[in-house]
């Protein structure tokens, strides 16, 4: 497994592989890797000849009161996971390498960032879009793999690639959950045992809402109200949002009459957790 910390050698190695007509898969991460990341690596290895993992905790997507400084950085464990999963190259740059000229240029993806996490994390998706664009230039891959747990991020990256005519395919991979239903996240490490048990209310609320829609319920306000009760009955929590949105535009729905995404962001203890599930287009009874 090759490991790069500087931009030029990494780009040269990827370009050399492309010259040999090898397909390149990219898995961008912020480290603290877990089974969810391993599933993205597996998807890349099944699809591509070479897999590149980037490990970079991007400062420009963190707000002033967020957890950039304490974000977990277990680099030895991350490299061991990459080695075990058959990764071919790891790009692990410093912030100075990525932003050597500062950061006066940024990418803003409109509309898709106006809902869900957007209002609660001003500037976050500009930081995401900008660093992903930089990584696509440094690692000129054919395909990039993102998890559906960060569904809004996935949609923002897809829209950026489409709008800017970037020559890369974006593949979304299913959310990986622990056996008890909790969506895997690097931030789960912040949860004490009691908070972790309480966090199971999030997936319970999502799955119950999905089942209710599958059974024919369509009124978003009633479904969301029940989700709030499920979450708050489990213990003290601060809800940023619980919403049912159009699966493509991410705009809120009042009635589930098209493919939708049930999304939430909830603070439990000191940890902000996000999760979502998809809902197919409803079938009219008859």
Residues tagged active-site: 37
Please, is 216 exposed, middle or buried when counting C-beta atoms within 10 Å of its C-beta (0-12, 13-18, 19+)?
A: exposed
Which residue in this structure is represented by tokens 């499920």?
Answer: 230
Q: How many CA atoms lie within 13 A of 156 on its CB side?
A: 26
Contact 39, 176 (CB under 8 A): yes
Closest CA to 108 of 92, 123, 88: 123
CA-CA distance, 158 to 128, in Å (whole number)? 12
**Rounded to whole angstroms, what are the CA distances from 77 to 39, 70, 274?**
16, 17, 24
In angstroms, the CA 27 to CA 19 distance is 20
3-state secondary structure of 255: strand
For residue 54, the surrounding DSSP H or E stretch is strand 50-55
Burial class (CB in 10 A: 0-12, 13-18, 19+), 201: buried
Chain-centroid distance, C-alpha 239:
19
Paired with 275 in beta bridges are 264
Q: How many residues does the chain have?
A: 286
What CA–CA distances, in Å, run from 268 to 54, 213, 255, 271?
A: 29, 26, 29, 5
176: helix, strand or coil: coil
């Amino acid at each position: 497994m090759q490991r790069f910390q500087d931009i030029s050698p990494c780009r040269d190695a990827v370009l050399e592989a492309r010259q040999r007509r090898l397909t390149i898969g990219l898995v961008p991460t912020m480290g603290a890797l877990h089974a969810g990341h391993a599933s993205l690596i597996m998807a890349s290895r099944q699809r591509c000849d070479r897999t590149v993992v980037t490990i970079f905790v991007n400062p420009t997507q963190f707000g002033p009161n967020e957890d950039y400084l304490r974000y977990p950085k277990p680099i030895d464990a991350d490299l061991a996971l990459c080695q075990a999963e058959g990764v071919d190259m790891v790009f692990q740059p410093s912030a100075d390498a990525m932003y050597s000229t500062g950061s006066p240029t940024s990418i803003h993806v409109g509309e898709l960032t106006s809902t869900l996490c957007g209002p609660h994390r001003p500037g976050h998706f500009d930081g995401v879009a900008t660093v992903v664009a930089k990584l696509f230039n440094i690692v000129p891959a054919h395909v990039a793999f993102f998890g559906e747990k960060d569904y809004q991020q996935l949609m923002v990256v897809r829209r950026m690639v489409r709008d800017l005519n970037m020559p890369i395919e974006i593949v979304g991979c299913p959310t990986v959950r622990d056996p008890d239903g909790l969506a895997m996240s690097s931030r789960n490490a912040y949860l004490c045992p009691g908070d972790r048990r309480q966090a199971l209310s999030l997936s319970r609320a999502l799955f119950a809402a999905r089942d209710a829609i599958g059974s024919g319920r369509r009124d978003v306000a009633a479904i969301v109200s029940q989700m709030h009760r499920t979450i708050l009955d489990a213990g003290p929590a601060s809800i940023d949002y619980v919403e049912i949105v159009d699966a493509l535009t991410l705009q809120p729905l009042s009635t589930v009459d098209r493919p939708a995404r049930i999304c939430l962001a909830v603070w439990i203890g000191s940890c902000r957790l996000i999760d979502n599930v998809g809902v197919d287009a409803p079938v009219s009874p008859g």
